[in-house]
Structure formats: structure tokens, C-alpha cells
Amino acid sequence: MTSTEISDLWVRRYHPRPDAAVRLVCFPHAGGSAPFYFPVSAEIGPDVDVLAVQYPGRQDRRQEPLVADLHVLADQLADALDPWLDRPFAFFGHSMGATLAYEVARRFEARGKVPAQVFVSGRRAPSQLRDERVHQGGEATIIADMKKLSGTDTRIFGEPELMGLLLPVIRNDYKAAETYAMRESGGPALTSPVTVLIGDDDPKSTVAEAEAWRDHTSGETVVHIYPGGHFYLVQHKDALLDVMRKALAEVTVG
């Protein structure tokens, strides 16, 4: 398999904009997949080429092994995304995806490629540790946590066959997120600007824990707080798109 074919496994490009001045790479949340970012790709505008990441083990990659270590996943993503970053680029990640966006950004900064912007959504800073062990619980524990986050269509809970496919992915990703710890070997602290996006009632991160992202970059940090929980971004999609457009417009002008 060529490097191009490997790269294509990881990237979904729903609305190709080859002449766009900036590329935005979007990292899904735990249990999430690339189509979660279809609305972003469709609506962000003609100046941004959106790449949605598809992790192994889900949808069209369901035959591939799941990866339960975010450092391993970040290493794989950095190699897969490298061919795409031939112009100014930015990262957006929600929840587990925010941690991955940060770790992949560190790896690119170590290679001399600095993201123009890193958007981290619905996730506490790497320095803010919690003892979370949902991934060690039974199915009822995981389902209860999924319901608490309100990010899953409730009809799915009544479909045993679908849940049988979904739960191993959720458990894997919960393990990856809950066992993550920042390593010095991942690369330098960021120099790129960071935009923090958080719901004010997020059970996975307090506002203070999210504001601590300031400690992980020497660049400018801007914090936006929205009413809502972990999936506040669905309710406030238009507001988030405005924030992203404005930040990325500065990249295209610069």
C-alpha cells in the first residue's frame, strides 16, 4: 500500500476545495467518526478545505483493529496527515479528538510545521487529570455515561444489534481517553494559538479545567464558553462556525 493510499484511509473530504488557502483537520470524539463533521465541511465556506479524520475500527474501517492508546494513534495520524499539510493548516478536535488534535499538533511542531490554529472543544487540558474508569465498567455503566453526555441518538439504545457493534468502539475510545497522560516525548509545547470551546455544564470538563489549556501553548489562547453540556457544539453550531471562520480568515489573509 502506498503512502497516498494509507493517507486516504484516514481522511474524508466531503466538499473538496483544492484552491482553499487553509486546511482544517477535524478529529472526532470517543465513539465518533468522520461524518460528524459533514455539516462543518458543508457550511464553513469556500476558503477552508475540511478534512475529517476516520479512525480505525469503525464504519468503512471496521475490519481494522481499534487503537486504545492516544499516543500510538497520534503517531499514526501525524504520518497519515503529513501529505495533506502542504499549505497553512488548522486542527479542530472535540472531546477525545481535542486531545488528539493537541498531540498531533505537538508532533508537527517537532517537524517544523506549526498549525495556524488549534481548536480544542469539550475537553479539559492535559494537565488536568481525573481518575475516570468508565471503560472498566459493564455495558450498563458505559450506556449510562453515554446517556449522560446526550450525544447519542436515544433510539440506538433500543437496537441491540447496533449497540453490539457500537459498544466495543465506545469502550476502546473511553479507555484511550481515560488512560491518556501527556508525555514529554510527544513533542514540544505548542507555539500555535489555541481556541478553547466549552459548554458551561460539561460533566467531562469544568470551565476552569478547560481554561488550563493556556498552560500548553506559548501562543495566544482564547476561551469561548457556551450554555450546555458535553455536546453543546450541536446546539451552537452556527456560533462555533463563526468563531472558526473568523480565526481562519486571519490565516488566509496573513
Q: What is the pLDDT of residues 133-150, one digit of tens each?
A: 989 988 889 989 888 887
User: Does a structural domain hold residue 207?
Assistant: yes
4-50 pLDDT, tens digit each: 555 689 999 999 999 999 999 999 999 999 999 999 999 999 999 99
**Predicted model pTM:** 0.94
2-14 pLDDT, tens digit each: 455 556 899 999 9
User: Does a structural domain hold residue 62?
Assistant: yes
Q: Which residue has the higher pLDDT, 183 or 116?
A: 116
Sign of the CA dihedral with 121 first, then 82, 79, and 105 last: negative
What are the φ and ψ backbone dihedral angles of 49, each rounded to 5 degrees? Answer: -95, 110
193-213 pLDDT, tens digit each: 999 999 999 999 999 999 999
User: Does a structural domain hold residue 156?
Assistant: no
Instruction: State the cell numbers at 204.
Output: 467531562
User: Does a structural domain hold residue 178?
Assistant: no
Three-class SS of residue 23?
strand
Provide the mean pLDDT of the chain.
92
User: Does a structural domain hold residue 153?
Assistant: no
212-222 pLDDT, tens digit each: 999 999 999 99
CA 70 – CA 84 distance, rounded (Å): 21
End-to-end Cα, the chain, rounded Å? 37
Residue 12 lies in domain = 3-127+183-253
Strands of the chain (E only): list them: 11-12, 22-27, 48-53, 89-94, 117-121, 194-199, 221-226
Instruction: State the cell numbers at 175.
Output: 479507555
User: Does a structural domain hold residue 53?
Assistant: yes
User: Does a structural domain hold residue 214?
Assistant: yes
- Vertex 73 angle, CA 67 and 77, to 5°: 135
230, exposed or middle or buried, with CB in 10 Å at 0-12, 13-18, 19+? buried
CATH assignment of the domain containing 205: 3.40.50.1820
The one catalytic residue in 95, 121, 192, 205 is: 95
Strand partners, 94: 121
pLDDT of residue 1: 47
Residue 33 known to be catalytic: no
**Is the CB of residue 101 less than 8 Å from the CB of residue 35?**
no
Give the H/E segment covering residue 56.
none
Q: How many domains does the chain have?
A: 1
User: Does a structural domain hold residue 139?
Assistant: no
169's CB contacts (< 8 A; 6+ apart) are 31, 57, 58, 66
